[in-house]
Amino acid sequence: MTPDKLKLAGHVKAINWNRIEDEKDVEVWNRLCNNFWLPEKVPLSNDVQSWATLTPDEQLLTMRVFTGLTLLDTLQGTVGAVSLIPDAITQHEEAVYTNIAFMESVHAKSYSSIFSTLASTKEIDEAFRWSVENVNLQKKAQIIESYYHGDDPLKRKIASTLLESFLFYSGFYLPMYWSSRAKLTNTADLIRLIIRDEAVHGYYIGYKYQKGLEKVSEERREELKAWTFELMFELYENEVQYTHDLYDSVGLAEDVKKFLHYNANKALMNLGYEAMFPAAVTDVSPAILSALSPNSDENHDFFSGSGSSYVIGKAVNTEDDDWDF
């Protein structure tokens, strides 16, 4: 890092939550507060027996995956979300970033709760050592961090959204996989809370990126779009190697890659761009999708089901009381 003057938000005024410029700030602040949780609320110790049924290789993989996720959460909590504050458009946006930063630190700490419940100090220390030494893991953190320290506020938001909505998923796959096989189910419950938070973070930072785009020239918009896809590609190539490195030993790499494609599409959509990967390579195993969201299977939908059971719904007059949501 250069010894430049520390960049902070400009002249600070008292924040007035009774004068709102962007309703999205209040909406997201409220949502984040409603979603607030702490790892102590999740009965992780119920997973101790299940942990013992994993092979040593599976345990090692799980430890490594979680230290990898810890690194990303640490980066986002202490550098990423904070780096977005000086360029916020509204003061309420600044406040939302402080909320995001704190929650990322909660996520990072929650992995340590999992570790201390399931593993020995020696195993924990070894997994953290691995996270420092793994080339692909370090590379993804370095790529993102370089833009956090860079001087382009919109590129910072792109990097941040890709971290929130894409880079976590090579790791999130594993607890969903264990959950689908009825293993480490309490750990999976905790990870689902993190997954929910990251969706709101990616959505909000992506939204603010698009607000920022409204203020720049068409030429600059084109440049940033091209840059987004280049960065996505660079990160994707690294993620593929990281995935093989981790998951080849248990034969899951191919399905993890589908999960990467699926989430890469969602990350791009959060930035306002069209999905890049076609359906043929985003068909993640249904067991994983249903571990993520029990209503996500296709049979739930009328249009994508077999079509043979087309029941015409009938609108029934309802009383106004029914609308008391």
Partner 1 sequence: MSAVAAEAAVGEITSRTTSSPLIYFSSASDNTHRFVMKLGGDVARLPIYTYEETLLAQEPFVLVLPTYGGENRLGAVPKQVIKFLNVEQNRKLIRGVIGAGNTNFGETYCLAGDIVAEKCHVQHLYRFELMGTSDDVDLVREGLEEFWTRLSLTKKLL
- Tell me which residues are annotated as active site: 111
What is the chain's alpha carbon radius of gyration, rounded to the nearest angstrom? 21
**Spatial separation of the C-alpha atoms in residues 170 and 257, rounded to whole Å:** 8
315 contributes a contact to partner 1 by CB under 8 A: yes
Residues 6+ apart with CB under 8 A from 293: none
Candidate list 26, 31, 212, 250; residue touching partner 1; CB under 8 A: 31
Q: Which of 114, 231, 239, 234 is nearest to 170 (CA)?
A: 239
Nearer to partner 1, 133 or 310 (CB): 310
Candidate list 61, 154, 200, 256; residue touching partner 1; CB under 8 A: 200
**Spatial separation of the C-alpha atoms in residues 325 and 322, rounded to whole Å:** 8
| Minimum distance of partner 1 from residue 221's CB (angstroms) | 15
Q: Is 251 left (phi over 0), alpha (psi -120 to 50) or beta?
A: left
| Minimum distance of partner 1 from residue 309's CB (angstroms) | 11
207 contributes a contact to partner 1 by CB under 8 A: yes
| Options 17-25, 99-107, 120-128, 228-236: segment touching partner 1 (CB under 8 A) | 17-25
9 contributes a contact to partner 1 by CB under 8 A: no
Candidate list 51, 203, 209, 247; residue touching partner 1; CB under 8 A: 203
Q: Which residue has the tokens 């030429």?
A: 219
Q: Residue 37, class by beta-carbon neighbours within 10 Å (0-12 exposed, 13-18 middle, 19+ buried)?
A: middle
Q: Which residue type, as a one-letter code, is found at position 133?
A: E
192 contributes a contact to partner 1 by CB under 8 A: yes
Contact positions toward partner 1, by CB under 8 A?
A: 22-24, 27, 31, 34-35, 192, 195-196, 198-200, 203, 207, 210, 265-266, 269-270, 272, 274-275, 278-279, 289, 292-296, 300-304, 307, 310-318, 320, 322-323, 325
